[in-house]
Amino acid sequence: MRIKAAILLCIVSVGIPAVLSPALASAVTGPSANSGSSTSSSPTATLKEPRVEVQKLTEDNLQARIDLYKKGLKLTMSAATLAKIGTACTSAQTKLKTLGSSNEKVVTARMNVYNTLMTKLQSIIDRSGAQQLDVTTLTADLAVLKTKVTTFESQLKTYRQDLADVVALKCTGDAAGFEAALTAARTDQAAVLATAKDIRSYMSTTIKPQLEALKKQLDAQATPKTGAN
């Protein structure tokens, strides 16, 4: 039965690996005001509030985005700290650019997996419904999954912009801007990773059991009833 094979294949497909490479995660916490390689005694840089407004700016408005990063940064740095950042930032930008490019391939592959899986789930729902199987819960679960993936895409867009800005700005002349953009990248990367983890968990603990329940419905439908003529 083709629909049963599709369900079995979908059950196997729900395991999604991590979205971002550990190397890039490490690089984003690299040479900065609060890195052990520069000034480990410096206070931890944090953001005052989410910077969703950064997404609304045009691609060529780099300085306006940097100003927003600075506005959100809750950290006052000394002249000595800024000088150390200015000295180390160029090599950090080179590393981030290289790792960011390789990581894009991983991200693209993960998004393809998400989209392919959602398409397969919708197909299973449609075909199962046509066979009078109960797909009410799976339909609702797919709607939730789509929302989670949309959130992931939005967060990923912000994170990609952060990294692009970290690499693009002239850091030797704006060490504070570099630190602010790097802190933004750390914050937004954490959000992306948390959502990716949530998606993997949702697929494993919610979607997969519903697919298995649907398979049992198919098995029961195919089994002749006792006492049937």
Return per-residue pLDDT of the chain as tens, 229 residues. 476 666 666 665 665 444 444 444 444 444 444 444 333 333 445 555 545 455 555 556 888 899 888 888 776 788 888 889 888 899 889 888 887 777 788 888 888 989 999 999 999 999 888 888 899 999 999 999 999 999 999 998 888 888 889 999 998 999 999 989 998 888 888 999 899 999 999 999 999 999 998 888 888 877 766 655 5
**pTM: predicted TM-score of the whole model, two decimal places:** 0.76
Tell which residue, 152, 146, 98, has the closest CA to residue 122: 146
**Is 72 part of a structural domain of the chain?**
yes
CA distances from 222 to 6, 22, 30 (A): 16, 47, 58
Asked if residue 171 belongs to a domain, the reply is: yes
The pLDDT value recorded for residue 41 is 35
For 84, the domain range is: 2-219
Q: Let me know if residue 225 belongs to a domain.
A: no
Structural domain includes residue 46? yes
- Dihedral sign for Cα 17, 23, 26, 28, please: negative
Report the alpha-carbon distance of residue 211 to residue 3 in Å, rounded.
Answer: 11
Tokens for 37? Answer: 């390689």
Q: Using DSSP, state whether 107 is helix, strand or coil.
A: helix
Residue 19 domain-assigned (yes or no): yes
Q: How far apart are CA 98 and CA 68, in angstroms?
A: 25
Domain annotation covers residue 126: yes
224 found inside a domain? no
- Please give the tally of structural domains in the chain: 1
Query: What is the structure's pLDDT at 191?
Result: 92
- Say how many Å lie between the first and final Cα of the chain, rounded: 24
pLDDT at 118: 94
The pLDDT score that the predictor gives to residue 76 is 77
- What pLDDT, on the 0 to 100 scale, is given for residue 195? 93
Domain assignment present for residue 190? The answer is yes
